[in-house]
Amino acid sequence: MMIVDHSPSSLRLLTDQPFGFFTTAECFVFISAFLAGMLFRKRTEKSGFAAARSSAIRRVWRIYGAHIATLAFTFALGSLFLSEFPGIANLLDHYLINPSAAICGSLVLLFRPPLMDILPMYILFCLLTPVLFWAARNWGWKRVLLASLFAWLIAQTHLRDTVVAAVKGLPFVQLGPFDLFAWQFIWVSGLFVGQRLGKEPPLPTFPLFRPVLLLFAVAFLLLRWSSHIGIAVSLTDTWLFDKWHLGPLRVINFAVAACVIAPFLKSINRWEAPLRPLFLIGRHMLPVFSIEICLSAVLIGRTDSGMTVEPITSALVICQLVTAPLLGWFFEWRSVARLSSRSASQTPAAGTHLKVEPARNVRPHLSPAARNARPNYSPGFPLTGIT
């Protein structure tokens, strides 16, 4: 869906906000935060806070490397092949005016052209994660969530627009449309829900409210498609549904849809075989996402120049969609090959005698209840991929 949304294809009519007034961007941010919160808590419990923080920082550097590689490809495309891809000028207008300033700004995450503004937001939120866990450990998650909610309320005053207007003339600044003061609320909420996974007691549930939530989800869905097909719905054009500042009804719509969908995710492992291509994409999301952004830049560069028209553009997008599972399979194959070679290098040579300790059936450091306990989630689900 993100691939189609980043294309000039008419297929966007089917993938742009299909389930209500929220996009794949909200889902991407929330799921990433959910997994980051779950893993940070587990690493903290296993190895300590310092180890979890170091792991988060290493992840930041990997995302930063992907961000730089993506920008380098796009800058090279705009500089070397502008005559063949004149449509790229719409993406890199600031860069083409002052390339050196744009490069310097991109290194410090101040220059974020269209299509390439998700990874900088991801980097900043990952840097924020250890700080949020430290604050939650000292003051509790309740105060962290309240502080996040307060920042989101301030964002509704469009304070960021004032800041952007003040730096609009600087050639090395292009902050993109996302208001991070607002979008941090989805990240913090995802961290909170993720770190609760497997805890006792779990998050509170209200079975009596499920029919009400379902009705609200259906109402948002009908309202979305009624405005989508041209029926006049003036409410959807107001700040209440604003995407970039994350309007209040947009947040409510996303929360309601998440609550309705969440119970069905418990049985997702039953579909592991047919969903394996998606699992591979999720497990290797960062490199797949970065390569797809580069392909989208190429497609936009050619399409906007008038060299392709419908249905050719949609056909090219469908071909690009096929590359996503192929990339996921390739990176999975490479990971397995590396593990196999590493295991082979650690295998002792023939004739080497090893002292093997007898197996023990009892782990004295665990109580019988702990030894018989079952995990609260299925280990077969690829939870660690996106983070």
Question: How far is residue 73's CA from residue 81's CA, in Å, rounded to a whole number?
Answer: 11
- Report the first-to-last Cα separation within the chain, whole angstroms: 19
pLDDT at position 166, please?
86
Q: Is the peptide bond before 211 cis (omega within 30 degrees of 0)?
A: no
**Given a cut of 50, is residue 227 above it in pLDDT?**
yes
pLDDT at position 190, please?
96
- Of the candidates 74, 305, 81, the residue with the CA atom closest to the CA atom of residue 174: 74
The token pair that represents 379 in the structure block: 């280990």
Q: If residue 288 lies in a helix (H) or strand (E), which one and from where to where? A: helix 285-303
Q: Per-residue pLDDT tens for 58-112?
A: 999 999 999 999 999 999 988 888 777 878 888 888 888 899 999 999 999 999 9
Residue 209: which pLDDT band, with cuts at 50, 70 and 90? confident
| Cβ atoms within 10 Å, residue 379 | 8
Supply angle C-alpha 170, 175, 176, rounded to 5. 130
Q: Is residue 39 part of a domain?
A: yes
Residue 144: which pLDDT band, with cuts at 50, 70 and 90? very high
Residue 366: which pLDDT band, with cuts at 50, 70 and 90? very low
Residues of the chain with pLDDT > 90: what percent?
Answer: 52
Q: What are phi and psi of 265, to 5 degrees?
A: -75, -15
Q: Is residue 229 part of a domain?
A: yes
pLDDT at position 308, please?
62
pLDDT at position 265, please?
80
pLDDT at position 86, please?
78
In terms of average pLDDT, the best of 12-21, 207-216, 231-240, 316-325 is 316-325
Of 197 and 331, the structure prediction assigns the larger pLDDT to 331
Token pair 């209440």: residue = 240
Buried b or exposed e, range 89-128, using 16+ CB within 10 angstroms:
eebbebbeeeeebbbebbeebbbbbbbbbbbbbbbbbbeb
Coil vs helix vs strand at 156: coil
pLDDT at position 348, please?
61
The token pair that represents 239 in the structure block: 């700040």
pLDDT at position 380, please?
36
**What is the per-residue DSSP string for 38-51?**
HHHHHHHHHH-HHH
Q: Is residue 295 part of a domain?
A: no
| Cβ atoms within 10 Å, residue 276 | 15
pLDDT at position 264, please?
83
In terms of average pLDDT, the best of 169-173, 265-269, 372-376 is 169-173
Residue 29: which pLDDT band, with cuts at 50, 70 and 90? very high
Q: How many CA atoms are closer than 13 Å to the CA of 302, on its beta-carbon side?
A: 14
Domain around 149: 17-267
pLDDT at position 246, please?
95
Question: How far is residue 195's CA from residue 345's CA, in Å, rounded to a whole number?
Answer: 37
Please count the structural domains in the chain. 1
315 conformational bin, left if phi > 0, alpha if psi -120 to 50, beta if neither:
alpha
Q: Per-residue pLDDT tens for 321-340?
A: 999 999 999 999 999 998 88
**Given a cut of 90, is residue 271 above it in pLDDT?**
no
List the single range of 76-80, 116-120, 195-199 with lowest mean pLDDT. 195-199
pLDDT at position 88, please?
84
**Given a cut of 60, is residue 360 above it in pLDDT?**
no
pLDDT at position 154, please?
95
Q: How many CA atoms are closer than 13 Å to the CA of 47, on its beta-carbon side?
A: 9
Residue 208: which pLDDT band, with cuts at 50, 70 and 90? confident
Q: Is residue 6 part of a domain?
A: no
Q: Is residue 159 part of a domain?
A: yes
Q: Is residue 285 part of a domain?
A: no
pLDDT at position 66, please?
96
Q: Is residue 92 part of a domain?
A: yes
Burial of 200 (0-12, 13-18, 19+ CB in 10 A): exposed
Hey, which residues does 111 pair with through a beta bridge?
174
**Given a cut of 60, is residue 364 above it in pLDDT?**
no
Q: Is residue 294 part of a domain?
A: no
